[in-house]
Structure 1
Amino acid sequence: MKFLVLIALVALARADDDKIIGGSQLRPNQVPYLVNLKRFGSLMCGGSLLTSTYALSAAHCNAAASSLTVTAGDYSLSNNDGTEQASNVARTIPHPQYKKNTLENDIMLLQLSSSMSTNSYVQFASLPAANVDPAVGTNCNVYGWGNIATTGSNYPDTPYGVTVPVVSNADCNVAYDGDITDGMMCLGLLGTGGKDSCQGDSGGPVNCNGDLHGVVSWGIGCAYPDYPGVYTRVSHYISWINQYI
């Protein structure tokens, strides 16, 4: 394992590099289960709407519930689209085995204070069956309002999406020195790079074959050739999610 100082540095890098690079701007209501999580009114993370009163995000996006707002049906962050539904957060429910230093079990439910109504702009994400995962090489889509620049910062006003293939945990562990656990999955273009999620996309959805298979979690840099993006593997947590929803 790493020396303690390196563990601290890696934990810091993971929290900062929870990373859309190489993608394209979404159309309004293209991903109607996509929500954003704001802290004191400022974008903090992404997420997915699971039911009228629960959303899913990453545990490292946790903060005092009283400071958080979840908005569904949102498109432009700076303008009122007329399609938004916003709710305060009644309770954050991070996974009880979440580990801040390693980002294991980086998944969190958000219980909403008010109910969301479904329409053409707001829908619920479809969860996969427990422990049923997309095959290696499957192209998946990642969505969010995060940084779209590989160097520096360029935060868009509207959400973006990018398509990247599943990388095996074995190959991903070569890049990350064995830090990839069963509750994680990796997406990326090994040896090529150029497509990835980035800062600000944390907690956002990974859709594979129509189901919500991942939550944006961490990685080293954004879209680096040798470092795939690392995501929480949703199928690993279906039983835990179903305890609440």
Structure 2
Amino acid sequence: MNDYLTTILSINSRSSLLFILLVFISVLSNCDNASGQQEKKVVSTVDFAVDTIPTLNATKLELTKQYCLENYGVASYKLDSPKIVLVHFTVIPTLEETVEYFQKDSIESSRTNISKFSQMNVGIHYIVDKDGSIYKLVPDTVIARHAIGFNHVSIGIENIAKDAADLTPAQLESNVKLIAVLKERNPGLEYLVGHHEYNDISLAHYKLFLAVDESYKPHNKPDPGPKFIADLREKLKAEHNLTFMK
């Protein structure tokens, strides 16, 4: 009888231990699942095609270095800590014409409002074509001349369009994907600004404005327009839980 009871107790003990172990494993599994669900809320890497069209050479890098010395007081073309994503449209109607324009080393003398401050040509980091294709022209680590007073802290995106009405849904989607990836690569990005907003001294980003020559000031621009930038902010929040300051 005693042997029988001992056997029963032994079996019950093993069953209890097994039961406790199964409960513990279940709890761990639930914790892992909860952790995984939380991680899904964080911006995940977005896979999309980016075709590279190089526009840099030794001459342009030297012009960029000189531009930065004259306008930001630093003899370097490096973009170390970008804070702003600045969105434009080209006015130039095609990708081919836009690339041809940006590939020039020196700015056109006809652009009298900015050519007197540097011979460096205007430039951009990314172009988004009307079908949503994304092209990289300048590395994220190199300064491009696309926004007076903010080039030292900004990554620029141009959208091929004659005006705001010419922008496409495909471009909006690609801007969302591109900015989500840029934020992953550059966690310090805090501001999303339309070119039409960059001259607004009431917005938070304006505290980053820098110009050695006080006469080199931003001027009003129409691109990409209030609707496109509002839609862009809304989709970044809805699809990637990303909110940027202005």
Q: TM-score range by the shorter chain?
A: under 0.3
Task: Return the TM-score normalized by structure 1.
Answer: 0.23
Q: Which has the higher strand share?
A: 1
Which structure: greater helix fraction?
2
Larger Rg: 2
